[in-house]
């Protein structure tokens, strides 16, 4: 099922590029899924890693995920998907609320995604400087607030022993990028 999810995501994101680069977008979901796989998580969560941006950023809908990958993968993807009809602030507040109250697998998916985004941002900042911030819907102050909020609430409701190592990696990346 993992290979099917990867193939589906590759087709869905075909032609899309990462922000601030000419890198194919699919590199991001692949890294997220691989991080979840290295952490030893379920096949459903790994599939959700591949598919986490499909509903948000392509023509596909959550029903397509459910039909092809089942209810559990669709639930995980749906919990992570932002409603693009809402403002940046509304979407980020929803994600922060989700990270506070969601089940741990949803938290694992969100943090794996946000970590990969932040590590990419860190590289872009080193290579391109502060001009990178101009391509975002919200500037550095709002990005700092958002990422610090994720770091603050990601442990909420789960035992520290159940958290993957990359949670600490996320906290460290937030510190480096936003000092």
- Note down pLDDT in tens along the chain; length 179 residues: 999 999 999 999 999 998 767 889 999 999 999 999 999 999 999 999 999 999 999 999 999 999 999 999 999 999 999 998 999 999 999 999 999 999 999 999 999 999 999 999 999 899 988 888 888 878 899 999 999 999 999 999 999 889 999 999 999 999 999 98
152: closest CA among 179, 128, 174? Answer: 174
For residue 41, the SS3 value is coil
pTM over the 0.85 mark: yes
Distances (CA, A) of 79 to 48, 76, 115, 161, 177: 10, 5, 17, 23, 27
Active site members: 56-57
53: closest CA among 114, 139, 3? Answer: 114
Do residues 166 and 115 make contact, with C-beta atoms less than 8 angstroms apart? yes
CATH number of 2-178: 1.10.3210.10
Q: How far apart are CA 24 and CA 5, in angstroms?
A: 17
């Amino acid at each position: 099922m993992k290979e099917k999810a990867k193939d589906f995501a590759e087709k869905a994101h075909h032609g899309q590029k990462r922000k601030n680069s000419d890198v194919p977008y699919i590199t991001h979901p692949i890294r997220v899924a691989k991080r979840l796989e290295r952490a030893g998580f379920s096949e459903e969560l790994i599939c959700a890693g591949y598919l986490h941006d499909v509903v948000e950023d392509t023509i596909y809908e959550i029903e397509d995920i459910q039909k092809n990958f089942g209810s559990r993968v669709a639930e995980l993807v749906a919990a992570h998907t932002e409603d693009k009809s809402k403002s940046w602030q509304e979407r980020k507040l929803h994600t922060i609320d989700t990270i506070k109250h969601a089940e741990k697998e949803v938290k694992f998916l969100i943090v794996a995604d946000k970590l990969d985004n932040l590590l990419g941002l860190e590289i872009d900042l080193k290579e391109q400087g502060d001009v990178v911030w101009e391509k975002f819907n919200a500037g550095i102050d709002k990005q700092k607030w958002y990422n610090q909020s994720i770091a603050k609430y990601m442990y909420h409701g789960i035992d520290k022993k159940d958290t993957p190592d990359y949670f600490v990696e996320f906290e460290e990346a937030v510190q480096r990028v936003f000092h």
